[in-house]
């Protein structure tokens, strides 16, 4: 299969073997790597297929084209935007891109010299972060976290972002203050995700597994309700109570007296359901789940209906308009049907890269997958690798943004960074200089610092001050 997917004639003609259809019918029989290759070879058109896949250069030469597959040019559209107005700029870019999806987006920032792949990757990272703001009013949230940024030197701005440890999931439309704004935001987000997938850019947005299931057309259950709203764990317990009630009512062997006694024994935390003082409304008591629901008390008798109505409110009817808008935006770039060969975790890795790799970077992984300048002192090499391994997950995210423009590694980790991570010696500088990077070529220029402590200090300083001015190219 791998050979077929990398065959130039097969890709250009689209003449894949008949048995390839089994990938879509029985995706679980094929490795994630093969399914990703198949997806990229068949979903984005020939130029992107040749650019994305490891096509044998000799085949291209035989066809009269001396270019390597990765060098095939794609039509581009360049945008110059204000760093302090990312979300509005991103919406305008996606509106333009939706009218000509095949154009490869390239982003630059006003007043900054950075050009090329680095600023563009960072654009997708920043745009996907902005859509998680509290004032976007899109997501269920456990809490909100305040972040103070200094996008414009000397001007500090406080913004609040959604905290959802379970992952992002849409807030029911009835709980949103501006329905039109929210629906438009989801349409924009669908475009952003679709365009990122089409152009092979990673996003920084922690969708929940339940979100991916909805996107893939899978039915959600009470389990997902508790997953996206942990404070509704009691609903799961009450669902078990309702199940026991149904079993008792269906048991023909019980006399009426035995049945009534068994029903009375059904308690939630040693109390009858009525003691919960629940009504047919959402937990905030703002939206009735049925007509006059604010006056209808939840009892053991109507408990089943309450659970069904509440689940429908959060997992189906309440998010239908938002998800339809998301799908509409997404399909302007990529057919949604093509994603069904992936599971939710696989889809997350495809869109956002890997997160677990942030926890367990090793010396051997970095050494084996990094090209070090032969003129670089071996002590500095060792110091740098040890510093990277010692970073916290948040510091590793910052380093990846500094190096690549994205906060996550691609599937496979460092070994699948393209081009290969390279460290060069920065000559004729002293300990006062900071490291610099060329994000297009994943190259970091490193002064030969006199100590590991100084190397760590200077690298962190460069990483955490990058947002003030995109000096990387």
Which residues belong to the active site?
A: 440
- Residue in this structure with the two tokens 């154009």, named with its chain if needed: 103
7 to 11, 13, 55, 374: CA distances (angstroms): 6, 10, 7, 36
- Phi-psi label, residue 45: left if phi above 0, alpha if psi -120 to 50, beta otherwise: left
Q: 370 is written with which tokens?
A: 């990094």
- Terminal Cα-to-Cα distance of the chain (whole angstroms): 38
- Decide the pairing of beta strands 443-446 and 155-163: unpaired
Residue 472 CB contacts under 8 Å (≥ 6 apart), including other chains: 114, 118, 119, 402, 436, 437, 438, 439, 466
Are 469 and 112 spatial neighbours (Cβ–Cβ below 8 Å)? yes
DSSP3 helix / strand / coil % (the chain, rounded to 5): 55, 10, 35
Q: What is the DSSP letter of 172?
A: P
Are 139 and 168 spatial neighbours (Cβ–Cβ below 8 Å)? yes
CA neighbor of 110 nearest in space, from 88, 83, 130: 83
Residue 444: count other Cβ atoms within 10 Å of its Cβ. 23
Is the sign of the CA dihedral 174, 175, 178, 182 positive or negative?
A: negative
Nearest-angstrom CA–CA distance, 336 and 327: 7
- Per residue, the 3-state secondary structure of 122-153, as one string, reads HHHHHHHHHCCEHHHCCECCCEEEEEEEEEEC
336 to 19, 132, 346: CA distances (angstroms): 22, 23, 15
Burial (CB < 10 A; 0-12, 13-18, 19+), residue 449, is buried
Are 192 and 332 spatial neighbours (Cβ–Cβ below 8 Å)? no
Residue 328 CB contacts under 8 Å (≥ 6 apart), including other chains: 187, 190
Residues in the chain: 473
CA neighbor of 195 nearest in space, from 98, 123, 71, 120: 98
40 to 33, 285, 448: CA distances (angstroms): 11, 47, 41
């Amino acid at each position: 299969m791998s050979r077929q997917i990398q065959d130039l004639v097969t890709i250009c003609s689209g003449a894949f073997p008949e048995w390839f259809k089994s990938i879509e019918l029985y995706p679980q029989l094929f490795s994630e790597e093969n399914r990703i290759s198949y997806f990229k070879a068949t979903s984005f058109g020939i130029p992107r297929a040749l650019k994305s896949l490891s096509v044998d250069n000799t085949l291209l030469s035989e066809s009269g084209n001396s270019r390597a597959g990765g060098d095939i040019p794609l039509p581009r559209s360049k945008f110059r935007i204000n760093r302090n107005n990312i979300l509005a700029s991103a919406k305008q870019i996606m509106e333009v891109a939706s009218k000509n999806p095949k154009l490869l987006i390239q982003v630059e920032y006003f007043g900054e010299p950075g050009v090329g792949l680095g600023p563009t990757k960072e654009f997708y990272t920043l745009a996907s972060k902005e859509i998680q703001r509290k004032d976007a009013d899109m997501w269920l949230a456990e809490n909100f976290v305040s972040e103070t940024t200094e996008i414009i030197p000397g001007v500090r701005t406080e913004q609040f972002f959604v905290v959802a440890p379970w992952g992002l999931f849409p807030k029911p439309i009835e709980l949103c203050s501006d329905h039109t704004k929210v629906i438009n935001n989801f349409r924009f987000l669908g475009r952003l995700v679709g365009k990122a997938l089409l152009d092979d850019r990673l996003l920084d947005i922690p969708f929940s597994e339940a979100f991916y299931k909805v996107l893939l057309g899978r039915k959600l259950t009470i389990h997902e309700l508790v997953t996206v709203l942990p404070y509704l764990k009691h609903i799961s317990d009450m669902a078990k109570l309702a199940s026991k009630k149904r079993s008792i009512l269906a048991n023909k062997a019980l006399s009426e007296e035995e049945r009534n006694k068994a029903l009375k024994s059904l308690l939630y935390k040693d109390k009858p359901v009525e003691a919960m003082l629940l009504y047919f409304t959402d937990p905030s008591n703002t939206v009735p789940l049925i007509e006059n629901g604010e006056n209808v008390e939840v009892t053991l008798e109507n408990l089943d209906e309450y659970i069904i109505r509440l689940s429908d409110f959060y997992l189906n009817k309440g998010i239908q308009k938002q998800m339809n808008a998301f799908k509409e935006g997404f399909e302007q770039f990529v057919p949604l049907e093509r994603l069904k060969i992936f599971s939710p975790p696989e889809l997350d890795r495809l869109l956002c890269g890997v997160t677990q790799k942030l926890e367990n970077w090793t010396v051997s992984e970095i050494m084996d997958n990094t090209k070090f300048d032969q003129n670089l002192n071996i002590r500095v090499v060792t110091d740098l690798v040890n510093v990277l391994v010692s970073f916290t997950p948040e510091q590793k995210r910052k380093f990846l943004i500094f190096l690549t423009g994205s906060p996550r590694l691609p599937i496979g980790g460092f070994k699948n960074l393209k081009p290969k991570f390279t460290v060069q010696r920065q000559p004729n500088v002293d300990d006062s200089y900071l490291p610099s990077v060329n994000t297009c070529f994943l190259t970091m220029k490193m002064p030969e610092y006199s100590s590991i402590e100084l190397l760590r200090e200077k690298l962190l300083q460069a990483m955490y001050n990058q947002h003030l001015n995109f000096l990387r190219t």
